[in-house]
Amino acid sequence: MSVKLSTRQVGDVSVVDVSGRITLGEGSSALRDTLRDMVTKGQKKILLNLGEVSYIDSSGIGELVSGFTTVANQGGQLKLLSLTKRVKDLLQITKLYTVFDVHDDEAGAIRSFA
Amino acid sequence: MGKNTGGEAETVEQFLDSTLESVDSAENVVLSVAEKAGFSEEDLHKIGMAVRESMVNAVVHGNQYSAHKKVRVSVSTAGNRLTVTIADQGKGFELTDLRDPLAEENLLRNSGRGIFLIRAFMDEVDVRRLSPHGTEVTLIKYLGRK
């Protein structure tokens, strides 16, 4: 299964629910396009829900990092929600776990943007 | 699912086009052999990931999607060892030219983590330049090794 992304608004936070595989090709470009679109629209509080992401490769990690820096450069914040064990392990191996603000529950993640 | 614990050898070799579809093909072929050999689900995930990263390097950076260049994928089992070789026909690269993805100044780079992850997930990794051109990556995983 390739990646699926859907966005919803919770207060002033844009939540992106991601499911499937974020890998080189359709998966990573879909994530990139979605994040760029949100930044272009001026959305500065973005929460990526990765709870249903089964697989992510180095290209997918690159897109997460790219999204993080793009949003930060516009004065916004991109945070991560509900990492699966494999994605969490991958971020720890690559030392990115401490770079991202990672949350386990959505309500707490939404509050943290305030 | 059969287990190959008695040293029964199996070798599969394929020549694949330089496309992203070949990344999936290579992963499927290798995982089929690895599953038959008895690797755990966690090890299969690591092997699959290392194969995908190696294939992406071969297709994208090595052969640069050339329709005239192939990627040779070979997977074999012998005893408790799974060996995968992935060879492209590109210009080749020097390992010493790669940046350390864990260095503070490289942490927020968008790329450059492929070889690092391959090494993290496999027990042994060898990269060598082929003559007259190309790069061959050899990945080894031992059954039952933590």
Q: What angle do CA B53, B59, B61 make, to 5 degrees?
A: 85
Distance, C-alpha A14 to centroid of its chain: 11
Which residues of chain B have a CB within 8 Å of the CB of A73?
none
Are the CB atoms for A83 and A114 separated by under 8 Å? Answer: no
Q: Which of B113, B117, B118 to mutate to test the interface with A (most CBs of A within 10 A)?
A: B113
B8-52 pLDDT, tens digit per residue, is 677 999 999 999 999 999 999 999 999 999 999 999 999 999 999
Strand pairing of B70-78 and B10-17? antiparallel
Domain count, chain A: 1
What percent of chain B is modeled with pLDDT above 70? Answer: 94
Residue B2 has pLDDT above 80, yes or no: no
- Measure in Å the smallest separation between the Cα of B5 and chain A Cα atoms: 28
Interface of A with B in 23-82 (CB under 8 A): 23-25, 55, 57-59, 61-63, 65-66, 68-69
Tokens of B19: 């496309």
HEC profile of B49-115 = HHHHHHHHHHHHHHCCCCCCCEEEEEEEEECCEEEEEEECCCCCCCHHHCCCCCCHHHCCCCCCCHH
Question: Where in chain B are the domains?
Answer: 11-142
Diameter of chain B by CA atoms?
48
DSSP letter for A114, please.
Answer: -
For position B55, what pLDDT does the model report?
A: 97
Q: Do B113 and A58 touch (CB under 8 A)?
A: yes
B81-123 pLDDT, tens digit per residue, is 999 999 999 998 888 888 999 999 999 999 999 999 999 999 9
C-alpha span between A32 and A22 (Å, rounded): 10
Q: Do B120 and A93 touch (CB under 8 A)?
A: yes
Nearest chain B residue (CA) to A94: B102
Q: Report whether CATH 3.30.450.20 matches the domain B11-142.
A: no
Would the CA dihedral through B25, B26, B27, B32 be positive or negative? Answer: positive
Q: Do A65 and B20 touch (CB under 8 A)?
A: no
- Tell me which residue in B49, B53, B107 faces A99 most closely, judged by beta carbons: B107
Helices of type H across chain A: 26-40, 58-73, 85-93, 106-112
How big is chain A, counted in residues?
114
For position A27, what pLDDT does the model report?
A: 81
Query: Who's near B63: CB < 8 A, 6+ residues apart?
Result: B18, B69, B70, B71, B88, B89, B90
Q: Which domain holds residue A57?
A: 4-112
A31-55 pLDDT, tens digit per residue, is 999 999 999 999 999 999 999 999 9
The pTM for the full model equals: 0.89
For position B8, what pLDDT does the model report?
A: 62
Which residues of chain A have a CB within 8 Å of the CB of B56?
24, 57-59
Q: Look up the CATH number of the domain holding residue A55.
A: 3.30.750.24
Tokens of B37: 């050999």
For position A26, what pLDDT does the model report?
A: 82
For position B85, what pLDDT does the model report?
A: 98
Low-confidence ranges of chain A (pLDDT < 50): none
Q: Do A24 and B116 touch (CB under 8 A)?
A: no
Are the CB atoms for A94 and B113 separated by under 8 Å? Answer: yes
For position B4, what pLDDT does the model report?
A: 43
